[in-house]
Amino acid sequence: PNPPFATRTLPYGEAAIVAAAALIAAGQPVAVPTETVYGLAADATDSAAVARIYAAKGRPSFNPLIVHVLDLAAAQEIADFDADALALAEAFWPGPLTLVLPLRADAGIASLVTAGLDTIAIRVPAHRAMRALLEATGKPLAAPSANASGGISPTRAAHVVASLDGQIALVIDDGATEAGLESTIVHGRDVLRPGPITAAQLTLHFHPGEGRGPVASVLGQSTARDDDRPATGPRPAPGWKEGENLLITAPGQLASHYAPTKPLRLNATQAEADEYLIGFGAIAGDINLSPAANPVEAAANLFDALHRADASDRATIAIAPIPEDGIGTAINDRLRRAAHRD
Residues lying near Mg ion in the complex (CB under 5 A): 145
- The option from ligand TXA, Mg ion, none interacting with 65 (CB < 5 to 8 A, set by class) reads ligand TXA
Q: Rule CB under 6 A: is residue 149 a binding residue for ligand TXA? A: no
The least CB distance from residue 123 to ligand TXA, in Å, is 6
Instruction: Supply the Cα-derived Rg of the chain in whole angstroms.
Output: 19
- The option from ligand TXA, Mg ion, none interacting with 163 (CB < 5 to 8 A, set by class) reads none
- Provide φ and ψ at 322, rounded to 5°: -115, 125
Residue of 24, 31, 54, 98 interacting with ligand TXA (CB under 6 A): 98
Q: Rule CB under 6 A: is residue 194 a binding residue for ligand TXA? A: no
Q: Rule CB under 6 A: is residue 119 a binding residue for ligand TXA? A: yes
Cα distances (Å, whole numbers) of residue 96 to 55, 126, 190, 217, 314: 26, 8, 16, 18, 34
Q: Rule CB under 6 A: is residue 120 a binding residue for ligand TXA? A: yes
Q: Rule CB under 6 A: is residue 192 a binding residue for ligand TXA? A: yes
Taking the least distance from each CB to ligand TXA, the nearer of 144 and 281 is 144
- The option from ligand TXA, Mg ion, none interacting with 252 (CB < 5 to 8 A, set by class) reads ligand TXA
The least CB distance from residue 216 to ligand TXA, in Å, is 18
Q: Rule CB under 6 A: is residue 198 a binding residue for ligand TXA? A: no
Taking the least distance from each CB to ligand TXA, the nearer of 143 and 271 is 143
Burial 208-242 (b: 16+ CB within 10 A, else e): eeeeeeebbbbbebbbeeeebeeeeeeebeeeeee
Strand 8-11's sheet: what is its strand order? 8-11, 170-173, 30-33, 38-43, 141-142, 66-68, 119-123, 97-102, 184-187, 190-193
Q: Rule CB under 6 A: is residue 34 a binding residue for ligand TXA? A: yes
- The option from ligand TXA, Mg ion, none interacting with 9 (CB < 5 to 8 A, set by class) reads none
Q: Which residues pair with 174 in a beta bridge?
A: none
Q: Rule CB under 6 A: is residue 143 a binding residue for ligand TXA? A: yes
33/246 Cα distance (integer angstroms) = 29
- The option from Mg ion, ligand TXA, none interacting with 66 (CB < 5 to 8 A, set by class) reads ligand TXA
Q: Rule CB under 6 A: is residue 39 a binding residue for ligand TXA? A: yes
Residue ranges in contact with ligand TXA by CB under 6 A: 34, 36-37, 39, 63-66, 96, 98, 100, 114, 117, 119-121, 143-145, 182-183, 185, 192-193, 249-253
